[in-house]
Structure 1
């Protein structure tokens, strides 16, 4: 739980709140001059028993205008409940002021529950003056070893650079105790095959030492001695000074190839002043690396009313647009002036077909896009207010789409011949006539979604979350919940899919529509649905197929699914082929209504028929029985 650490000779401040008022640069702490004492900046847990935790900190400086003796306000709460206002935390007996400014003081908090983990916060004042800013939190467990909390998982690992024999990855500093403090060290591993928690031990350890990244609060590490052009899977775990390791980070697929990195900063200080300029300068193999900040229609100044704020041109391909600090810190905001981003690929003309492979987009938040033009007409955009992918094989990974509105595909529209893919994305609070979040249409190549969360989107017509028509569809490990269609297909409206389309390992929960609260199938096609959970949807039946003779003839092949608790009914519709393993029992979900509890039939081992089906639904166990 150190609050300062040195990596490659670079000292890194432990708390994000390094600029708290009154913090000095060394020696005795410096107080502000308004009578308020300096804040405690280094509160930490140093020892414990089965009913106590010992805290330590440096005594803050006296304020020049303050009078009276030093007093403390010490409060604590259980880890996980610290979002409550600090005034609602438990007030501990106030520590006595036993040492002078700049000296270390220790204090034992007693009466704690054995094995429970707490968050502590300390404020100070002199006499009857104002209280200082509360300290950054410290986390400790009532146990002989008070540090029992592993560091936070790194979620924004990216490839930062590359040469013909090396690659460089970068990531944000991880918290020591969940999000608090800073991790002591990092272990980076790589392999030529997919890297998972199960294969972690067999992967190669990167011996190189992390170094400071140009962006504050981030580190980077270069792995040397690699094979030129080979693809590697790279991940890391954060370590603390008690030996705890975080969960495995997101895994990056990276290559040892010469990469030209084009840097973009929101203040215009990068290689190009504007993001669009950097995108248009990119060549195959390049990475447009975008610093944290909010890139808006206003501050970029070059949004196109018919295409969008950012545009990948038809003659561009095979490069990456990547954020440095992840989606939460890198926001593309169209300010409801138009679409956020447009990627256009192949051209068709003069009897010659010409296609472009597309680009990779990683780690952005797309917000406030607007595409309410006339559907199918030239002029203002009408599809994909967050992102429109037309005639392209573009990969969109680790992105957030929020508060976008369109005629088709509130967040994302994929159309024309192209095999674009959404991977590990969050799509929420978007709105459209069809496909509240996603609209897929008219593509022979397969369009796919994997590992996404699609929630709280609205379609005024069909497909509260997703509308898919006349495409090849592959969809797995995706959670679809809380979406609304005013007419049909609360979760999905699916029509005329191409042969071989499938949905596997998905959860459709708490969606609403008068007709087909979960899935609505229409027009001749065959869809395979496996290991999926359709439950607690409101309005129409969980799954419906348009009756034969009314423009349908759809066939649903269903195996190892669980359908239960849908207000309009749980029966498999006419047109279903039973592949076996389907259940109609209570999924026994946790209070969040999303994760299966320990006794859920969704979990392998809890079914009388054995474990052949594996996990049903997108999420693993989330609570006890």
Structure 2
């Protein structure tokens, strides 16, 4: 219920052009006492600098999206992270930013689920075209660059960007900050970018998990049209592409991917983990630093990485136990010439690297990896808390999963025991 006197007084103060207002805290609860019972009503009333706290509950709307942040510099947060749910009910978008939101617009601690992109008449012809559905869970357009923190995107879908789309047809550059988020089970076999589609965008994405997302191109992420995203310390696990790029598809884009793990992703055609292409100019240079690629599978070429007319750089990376028809670790062709420095490729099937590449030194290319430390899931040379976290991410039924140490098809207490036996530095 709205605290009427306070809100009326505030409105009168605005109308009278009184002295600047102190930032306020507004509350939202769908079934209890609060200032508002819907998120959108609170956003509509809020002013720059306000905090909107949302109680546990499931929130939806009758509009095309559950929440439009309206360009306001507000902090929208769940009172208890993971308990306030933005639910699109399988036919509306979750959140829209279209008014140039900046990093001072913050959305934090929400679950965004069951969202589907509503129709947007991209070519203004009045007809619904199959490709006019952008950003199921979240759409940033017109240069909007909010901060998205500690959110879970679960079971969202669209033709472009099942969970999030950054960009639009106007060419404005969106630079959102996405940190400590999880993307689970977003997209479909027809989606481009099962979790995230970057359209000429430059997001910073840090400490995020992309697990079991699906797409036609880019099971988890598709970068398009000169996008320059930065991914740091992210996990890409068990994502699938019906065609190319099980975890990531880079089309004429130059992502910086640093400290990321790409594990058990799969592509129906090429690039079990990553597909890189720039047939127009070959100018895009994806960059991978301190990344681990292991147990990825492609039915075609490039178990871990496939390069077509582009020459990425790999520094301090490992390509281990990936599988493809050709180029188990990496396949490059049509003018591609990737550069490798201090990178390991071993144990891939049927071969390590197929096609041209430049040896910048300190690389280790071998048919078999040295004695495996199977409990070292992140490949850093020791079994530690990071590996324990990866095991719990895989908990339960898990076919051909590296954390299934005893090979029984389930990650459970038996595997946990094996991990503790192997605790510490690998020999």
Partner of 1:435: 218
Judge conservation of contact 2:66–2:87 (CA < 8 Å) in 1.
Answer: no
Unmatched runs of 5 consecutive residues or more in structure 2 = 1-47, 119-134, 168-172, 384-422
- Give the Cα separation in 1 of the matches to 2:116 and 2:70: 26
Q: What is the correspondence of 1:242-261 to structure 2 with a 5 Å cutoff?
A: 259-261=49-51
Cα shift at 1:598: 5.1
Pick the aligned partner of 1:537 from 291, 297, 322.
Answer: 322
2:350 counterpart of 1:568: yes
**Could you say which residue in structure 2 is the equivalent of 1:334?**
114
Does residue 312 of the first structure (1) align with residue 97 of the second (2)?
yes
* Structure 2 match to 1:219: none
The alignment status of 1:345 with 2:130, answered yes or no, reads no
Q: Give the whole-Å Cα distance in 1 for the aligned partners of 2:62 and 2:425.
A: 49
1:582 aligns with 2:369: no
- Please say if residues 115 and 137 of structure 2, whose CA atoms lie closer than 8 Å, have aligned partners that are also in contact: no
**How far apart in 2 are the matches of 1:448 and 1:597?**
22
Name 2:253's counterpart in structure 1: 471
Deviation at residue 392 of structure 1 after TM alignment: 1.1
Q: Which residue of 1 aligns with 2:77?
A: 289
Mapped to 1, the partners of 2:350 and 2:162 lie a distance apart of 32
Report matched runs for 1:25-104 at 5 Å.
none
| Counterpart Cα distance in 2 of 1:591 and 1:343 | 40
Match of 1:503 among 249, 263, 288: 288
Instruction: Return closer, same or farther for 1:589/1:387 CA change in 2, 3 Å cut-off.
Output: farther
CA offset digits 1:7-52 (Å, max 9, x no partner) = xxxxxxxxxxxxxxxxxxxxxxxxxxxxxxxxxxxxxxxxxxxxxx
Relative distance call for 1:273 and 1:436 in structure 2 (3 A) is closer
Q: CA deviation at 1:591?
A: 2.0
Cα distance in 2 between the residues matched to 1:562 and 1:312: 42
* CA offset digits 1:251-275 (Å, max 9, x no partner): xxxxxxx943222234489xx999x
Residues 477 and 587 of structure 1, relative CA distance in 2, 3 Å threshold: farther
2:164 aligned residue (387, 396, 404): 387
Q: What is the aligned partner in structure 1 of residue 194 from structure 2?
A: 410
Residue 337 of structure 1: how far off its partner (Å): 8.1
8 A contact 2:220–2:239 mirrored in 1? yes
User: How many Å apart are 1:570 and its aligned residue?
Assistant: 1.1
Task: Say if 2:282 is the partner of 1:488.
Answer: no
Q: 1:410 to 1:450 in 2, by over 3 A?
A: same
Contact 2:57 2:85 in 1 (8 A): no
- The total of aligned residue pairs comes to 309
The answer to whether the Cα contact below 8 Å between 1:458 and 1:464 also exists between their aligned partners in 2 is yes
Question: Equivalent residue for 1:447?
Answer: 229
Gaps of 5+ in 1: 1-257, 325-329, 347-355, 372-381, 601-620
Alignment CA distance shift 1:259-1:530 (3 Å)? same
Structure 1 residues 482 and 337, CA, compared in 2 at 3 Å: closer, same or farther?
same
Distance 1:321 1:522, change over 3 A: same
- Is the 1:410–1:430 Cα contact (8 Å) retained in structure 2? yes
> Secondary structure of 1:472's partner?
coil
Q: Higher strand proportion, which one?
A: 1
- Secondary structure at the residue paired with 1:554? coil
Q: Closer, same or farther in 2 for the Cα pair 1:389/1:499, shift >3 Å?
A: closer
| Match in the other structure for 1:264 | 54
CA contact (8 A) 2:206 2:233 kept: yes
Q: Aligned partners of 1:319 and 1:297: how far apart in 2?
A: 24
- Per the TM alignment, residue 557 of structure 1 is displaced from its structure 2 partner at its CA by 0.9
Instruction: Give the greater-gyration-radius structure (CA).
Output: 1
Q: 1:263 to 1:294 in 2, by over 3 A?
A: closer
Structure 2 match to 1:358: 145
Higher fraction of helix: 2
Distance 1:512 1:574, change over 3 A: closer
Residues 134-173 of structure 1: pairs in structure 2 closer than 5 A: none
> Which residue pairs with 2:155 in the alignment?
368
Measured after TM superposition, the shift of residue 522 of structure 1 is 0.3
Which whole-Å CA distance do the structure 2 matches of 1:334 and 1:262 have between them? 23
Report the CA distance shift for 1:598/1:557 in structure 2 as closer, same or farther (over 3 A).
Answer: closer
